[in-house]
């Protein structure tokens, strides 16, 4: 079946601009996660949704980052006033069971964000 | 919080040899340990995972071992093939409800 999809695959923006990154989870997966992966590093947790609500946003680095999942399926990660340090690959994952059940997480291909 | 250390950072083997990647974790409450393979330009792909109620799990050429006392777990790949070349990440999840924490990755190169 279809896996996790993310759009766009690449995004180039200028410092100070606003960007939105989209994630389509595997159909039926109620849990959705966002991670950020810098070059040469492992993914770092940003936020976790169970259904429509953000159950854990402890990984968001600051208030420029925000994510929504209004209908419990597609999610959008929003970054305001982008900085060069925001350049990274933003990964989305979904799982059938939530984090409290340690559900197996399946990742999308990521969005490569470059802030000039 | 949880901290995961992964070694080595790079590993080169000849086709047909075995490869072993080791990880240690800090939170004794961690009880879920997945391994992911990431190819260039792609997202991480789950290859095997283990939960703390077992000490070893095997899937064809891939096996994972877990030593909860020593707080370390290892990935073993036997009969390596060039298509095994990729970056491998270990991860650990603490008590239910905490985030998955990843190691920094191991770049495996298999030469034919």
Give the residue from chain B lying closest to A102, CA to CA. Answer: B96
Q: Are A57 and A75 in contact (CB under 8 A)?
A: no
- The model's confidence at residue A9, banded by pLDDT at 50, 70 and 90, is very high
At A36, list the tokens. 């950020």
Q: Do strands A111-115 and A10-13 pair parallel, antiparallel, or not at all (unpaired)?
A: parallel
pLDDT recorded at residue B2: 85
Whether the predicted pLDDT of A100 surpasses 80: no
Give the residue from chain A lying closest to B89, CA to CA. Answer: A42
Compute how many other C-beta atoms are within 10 angstroms of the C-beta atom of residue A103.
20
Indicate which of B44, B57, B89, B95 best probes the interface with A, i.e. most A CBs within 10 Å of its own CB: B44
The pLDDT tens digits along chain B (112 residues) read 889 999 999 999 999 999 999 999 999 989 899 999 999 999 999 999 998 888 999 999 999 999 999 999 999 999 999 999 999 999 999 766 678 999 999 999 999 9
If we measure between CA atoms, which residue out of A29, A42, A31, A52 comes closest to residue A88? A42
Q: Are B28 and B80 in contact (CB under 8 A)?
A: no
pLDDT recorded at residue B95: 67
Q: Is B32 on the interface with A (CB under 8 A)?
A: yes
Q: State the Cα–Cα distance between residues A90 and A88, nearest whole angstrom.
A: 6
């Amino acid at each position: 079946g279809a896996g996790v999809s993310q759009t766009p695959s690449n995004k180039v923006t200028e410092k100070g601009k606003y960007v939105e990154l989209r994630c389509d989870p595997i159909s039926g997966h109620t849990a959705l996660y966002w991670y950020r992966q810098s070059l040469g590093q492992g993914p770092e947790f940003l936020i976790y949704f169970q259904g429509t609500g953000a159950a854990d946003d402890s990984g968001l680095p600051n208030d420029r980052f925000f994510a929504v999942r209004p209908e419990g399926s597609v999610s959008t990660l929003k970054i305001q006033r982008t900085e060069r340090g925001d350049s990274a690959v933003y990964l989305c994952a979904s799982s059938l069971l939530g984090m409290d059940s340690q559900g197996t997480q399946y990742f999308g291909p990521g969005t490569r964000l470059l802030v000039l | 919080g949880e901290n995961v250390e992964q070694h080595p950072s790079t590993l080169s083997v000849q086709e047909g040899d075995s490869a072993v990647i080791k990880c240690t974790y800090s939170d004794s409450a961690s009880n879920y340990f997945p391994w992911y393979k990431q190819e260039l330009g792609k997202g991480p792909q789950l290859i095997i995972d283990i939960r703390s109620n077992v000490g070893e799990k095997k899937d064809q050429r891939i096996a994972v071992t877990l030593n909860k006392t020593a707080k370390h777990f290892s990935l073993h790949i036997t009969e390596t093939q060039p298509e095994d070349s990729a970056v491998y990440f270990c991860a650990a999840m603490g008590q239910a409800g905490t985030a998955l924490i990843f190691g920094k990755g191991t770049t495996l190169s298999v030469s034919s």
